[in-house]
A and B are shown apart, each in its own frame.
Chain A
């Protein structure tokens, strides 16, 4: 049995112009420690699905089970990260990373140590006392990554976390994310509309199509681990990218 199991998930938003079907009949299993990506064009329901996984949105229909329990509310063992770093400008970097610990009432001393470790892990040693406005976009996402890990959640839900970064920074961040993931063994659900990024990172890719949002298919990525940017030269990498493009109907 997987860590997260969705069966026949539907999501309908009621909007001013009537009901809007954001997801229809989405079923999947996510295993513990797996790296899953959700890819698809804008509006296919990736963020909606991630919000449902995070317990922030209610599904309209279907079943969602996490670790054997029905799941419909935020939990402390799930962490979320967004396209913008959402750092609080009145907090130093260190204080930002300590936010989850404060909210959840975790042991202060332990959190202080963990914060230093995490800043180390994301390569921001020595930046702890700076303020977010003093950091570049890439560095801020590193802080957001450290904060994501602060309370040691079991599941990481990441909504286009590197989508606003330039190509070079994004690639660096991808490599680092893989390194951290391999070290920590977290279960990751990673939203992106960058197919290459999804193939590079994932064990499996959920390919989604819009109107209404559906899970078009699941691609198992057949590439060795640990991965470096070298795998982008692997013919299988190109093939996966091509397959996904075909599933999304971007190649004609």
Chain B
């Protein structure tokens, strides 16, 4: 083929050339692997350094244990907290609040984003209000929601929903709107209607921005639930943190914070893994 015409060097056989190329690629892969390992080591090393400083600062009395517990205390506290009989029921409460808050926030964000992006009447009617509603920091709603929905799960789910709705809504809307005008022209020229254009062009095109929204949505749903539990609850991780803090069980608080962070991160990683699957073409 004319575009990939090959230059033939005198005295080199095709096999020899291919071999050289293969060796070059292998060496390049090795170098890449080494870079990766080096970066991992740097990150792990830094983490260990932070823990070491934490250890020295607390165990040798530079910082009072009531302010920051030592890593050792935190470690034992984690075991104590996780084996306590009150732990798992409270975890269950918080997890189901997060799941509902995230699920409803995500779904409603996507639905409203799609409706506003696809239908001019919906956009004209709702968009100004949705933007205005986005302005106040949603946390201020938490006490009101407790008044409205009570001390149980619904008020926490409500905070999580209002916090996670907007990033999902805005990212869906932005994703569906940032499309190459020529691609739209192409679809129109093929007599594609609204639905076919949405399915074949707008939706896949929006996925990268939407997935960024999902990640924000997740972090904010967790935040919303915990804040909701701080404001008024009788169960949940946020409630436990609040109660332990009150009892000056700072090591217990730390262990809960760490457990919550690990959980949030694991799900976050899961979402990133899903993202790399869904928008595989960005990795090519």
Contacts and interface: CB of A to CB of B under 8 A. Distances in A.
B189 A80 contact: yes
A103 B182 contact: no
Nearest to B190: A103
Contact of B281 (A99, A133, A139): A133
A138 interface: yes
Contacts of A134: 284
Most buried by A among B190, B204, B205: B190
A86 B200 contact: no
Contacts of B281: 89-90, 131, 133
Contact of B284 (A86, A100, A131): A131
Contacts of A76: 190-191
B284 A103 contact: no
B1 A123 contact: yes
A103 to B, nearest CB: 5
B186 interface: yes
A120 B160 CA distance: 55
Given A103-B196, A123-B3, A88 B201 contact: yes
Contact of B200 (A51, A75, A103): A103
A74 B188 contact: yes
B63 interface: no
Contacts of B200: 88, 99, 102-103
A54 interface: yes
Interface string A201-220: 00000000000000000000
A237 interface: no
A75 B182 contact: no
Interface residues of B, number: 23
B89 to A, nearest CB: 44
B2 interface: yes
A102 B199 CA distance: 12
Nearest to A172: B2
A84 interface: yes
B180 A74 contact: no
Interface in A86-139: 86, 88-90, 99-100, 102-104, 123, 125, 131, 133-134, 136, 138-139
A9 interface: no
A20 interface: no
A136 B186 CA distance: 21
Given A103-B190, A103-B200, A82 B185 contact: yes
Interface string B182-214: 110111111110001000110011000000000
Nearest to B187: A103
Give the bracket for the number of chain A residues in contact with chain B.
20 to 34
A74 B204 contact: no
A75 B3 CA distance: 34
A79 B189 CA distance: 7
B191 A75 contact: yes
A78 interface: yes
A56 interface: yes
Contacts of B182: 82-84, 86
Nearest to B2: A172
Contact of B180 (A84, A90, A125, A151): A84
A81 B93 CA distance: 56
Contacts of B280: 90
Nearest to B280: A90
Interface in B148-199: 180, 182-183, 185-192, 196
Contacts of A89: 281, 284
B204 A88 contact: yes
A75 B192 CA distance: 10
A4 B205 CA distance: 35
B3 A74 contact: no
A249 B231 CA distance: 76
Contacts of A136: 3
Contacts of A83: 182
A139 to B, nearest CB: 7
26 contacts: A54-B185, A54-B189, A56-B188, A75-B191, A76-B191, A80-B185, A80-B186, A83-B182, A84-B182, A86-B183, A88-B201, A90-B281, A99-B190, A99-B200, A102-B200, A103-B200, A104-B190, A123-B2, A123-B3, A125-B1, A133-B281, A134-B284, A138-B3, A151-B190, A172-B2, A172-B3
Interface of A: 51, 54-56, 74-76, 78-80, 82-84, 86, 88-90, 99-100, 102-104, 123, 125, 131, 133-134, 136, 138-139, 151, 157, 172
Given A56-B188, A56-B189, 4 more contacts: A84-B182, A88-B205, A99-B200, A104-B190
Q: Which 4 pairs of residues, A with B, have the shortest CB-CB distance?
A: A80-B189, A82-B182, A89-B281, A103-B190
